[in-house]
Amino acid sequence: MDLLNTFASLFSNFGNLTWQMVVMWGIGALLIYLAIAKKMEPSLLLPMGFGAILVNLPLSGAITQGDTVGPISALFEAGMSNELFPLLLFIGIGAMIDFGPLLEKPWLMLFGAAAQFGIFFTLFLAGFFFDLKDAASIAVIGAADGPTAIFVANTLNSQYLGAIMVAAYSYMALVPIVQPPVIKLCTTQKERRIRMPYNPKAVSQTTRILFPISVTVIAGTIAPKSAELIGFLMFGNLIRECGVLGSLSETAQKDLANLITLVLGLSVSFRMKAEMFVTLETLVILALGLVAFIFDTVGGVMFAKVLNLFSKNKINPMIGAAGISAFPMSSRVVHKMGREEDQGNFLLMHAAGANVSGQIASVIAGGLVITLIENVIAGM
């Protein structure tokens, strides 16, 4: 009898299983499939998918149960509650980015700013469904910048961090699918065939070194809440450009970025528990994230079309679409579309300049959103 009771106790935990947990197993499996089979952000979606399964096991030891602290809960507290992991990831991202195309043509920075339109449009729209902090966190999905979305959601203490992160990184990976139809809808064939001659200019090392320092000072002064984000991003770029830290630059680009991304994915799965994720709100967040992403693209394209009304040298409006932060995917999409319309149309360097400017603009936009929301709440 004791043996029978012991055997039965092995399966007693199945009584704590809910259908929502099973749904999360399915979502976790889907993320793992996308990471492996489709190679969509594998260093992030793989640990996130596995973590989603792990935290949704009944009475899982991976998360805190009573007085016993789980490792994923500990990871979240150590690196997410204080925004440490996203900031460290920004060092790696900064080390990867070559701002040369932007420094050759600084006016391309305008497209980075214009392509943040979707964030503020979605902030207004999301306000009808969520409170201000959550609406702002959801809107920043449109930045097409996962670390910025995580940082803003965490800073504003959004309860939907898991859904926001899944949406942000999914739409980043779907740039080649989402952007082309939106661009075609906003442009004519004649506009897509506009050629933009590229005349490369030498950018001195002094300029490359001064650029991250200057951007940090200016952006940090204009939007103090973005100082952490822009500072760590530009510090990573300074490591790349200084010329004396080659091995550290390589480490930041590869080992640091990959390791932090891996840990980040596991940490965020803490917010993917069934009771928090399997809700109607998650579907609304995914829809609003797509709206933000689409209107960022529209904002960049339309801004270029407006400039063409006053410009003697016409700009291919597709360049505006590259102003989002998804680097280098968006610039490649624009270049490919240009070649499809005209084999001799090479837009890559112009698009790359707009694309890296979007990385800076999205960080500043994130800081402005935090400042705006905190000021509004303080004034209530």
**For 310-355, what is each residue's pLDDT tens digit?**
888 889 999 999 988 877 788 888 989 988 988 888 888 888 889 9
Confidence at residue 44, expressed as pLDDT on a 0 to 100 scale: 83
Three-state DSSP string of 128-197: CCCCHHHHHHHHHHHHCCHHHHHHHHHHCCCCCHHHHHHHHHHHHHCHHHHHHHHHHHHCCHHHHCCCCC
Confidence of residue 9 (pLDDT cuts 50, 70, 90): low
Average pLDDT of every residue of the chain: 88
> Residue 8 above 60 pLDDT?
no
Please, what sign has the CA dihedral across residues 212, 217, 223, 227? positive
Confidence of residue 2 (pLDDT cuts 50, 70, 90): low
Q: How far apart are CA 222 and CA 165, in angstroms?
A: 27
Q: Six-digit token pair at 103? A: 């420094």
More confident of the two residues 204 and 202: 204
> Residue 301 above 90 pLDDT?
yes
Confidence at residue 57, expressed as pLDDT on a 0 to 100 scale: 92
Nearest alpha carbon to residue 25 among 60, 57, 63, 59: 57
Residues 180-194 pLDDT 10s: 999 999 999 999 999
> Residue 10 above 70 pLDDT?
no
Instruction: Give the pLDDT mean for 117-136.
Output: 92
Residue pair 48/268 in contact (Cβ under 8 Å)? The answer is: yes
Q: How far apart are CA 155 and CA 24, in angstroms?
A: 26
- Lowest pLDDT segment from 10-19, 112-121, 219-228, 344-353: 10-19
- Lowest pLDDT segment from 51-65, 141-155, 255-269: 141-155
- For residues 229-242, one letter each, b for 16 or more C-beta atoms within 10 angstroms of the residue's C-beta and e for the rest, the string is bbbbbbbbbbbbbe
> Residue 380 above 70 pLDDT?
no
Confidence of residue 5 (pLDDT cuts 50, 70, 90): low
Confidence at residue 7, expressed as pLDDT on a 0 to 100 scale: 57
- Enter the DSSP assignment of 107: G
Instruction: Give the pLDDT mean for 8-26.
Output: 80
Q: Six-digit token pair at 357? A: 């400017």
Instruction: Give the pLDDT mean for 204-226.
Output: 91
More confident of the two residues 239 and 86: 239
> Residue 264 above 90 pLDDT?
no
Angle at 57 between CA 56 and CA 63, to 5 degrees: 70
Residues 70-95 pLDDT 10s: 899 999 888 887 888 888 998 999 99
Please, what sign has the CA dihedral across residues 362, 367, 372, 377? positive
- Lowest pLDDT segment from 51-55, 109-113, 143-147, 248-252: 143-147
Q: What's the pTM?
A: 0.85
Percent over 90 (pLDDT), the chain = 42
Tell me the HSE value of 320 on the side-chain side, using a 13 A CA sphere. 30
Q: Six-digit token pair at 144? A: 């097409």
68 phi/psi in degrees, rounded to 5: -90, 115
Confidence of residue 11 (pLDDT cuts 50, 70, 90): low
Which amino acid would we find at residue 293? F
- For residues 158-180, one letter each, b for 16 or more C-beta atoms within 10 angstroms of the residue's C-beta and e for the rest, the string is bbbbbbbbbbbbbbbbbbeebbb
Tell me the HSE value of 258 on the side-chain side, using a 13 A CA sphere. 6
Confidence at residue 378, expressed as pLDDT on a 0 to 100 scale: 78
Confidence at residue 306, expressed as pLDDT on a 0 to 100 scale: 94
Domain boundaries, the chain: 82-379
Residues 157-179 pLDDT 10s: 888 988 888 888 778 777 888 89
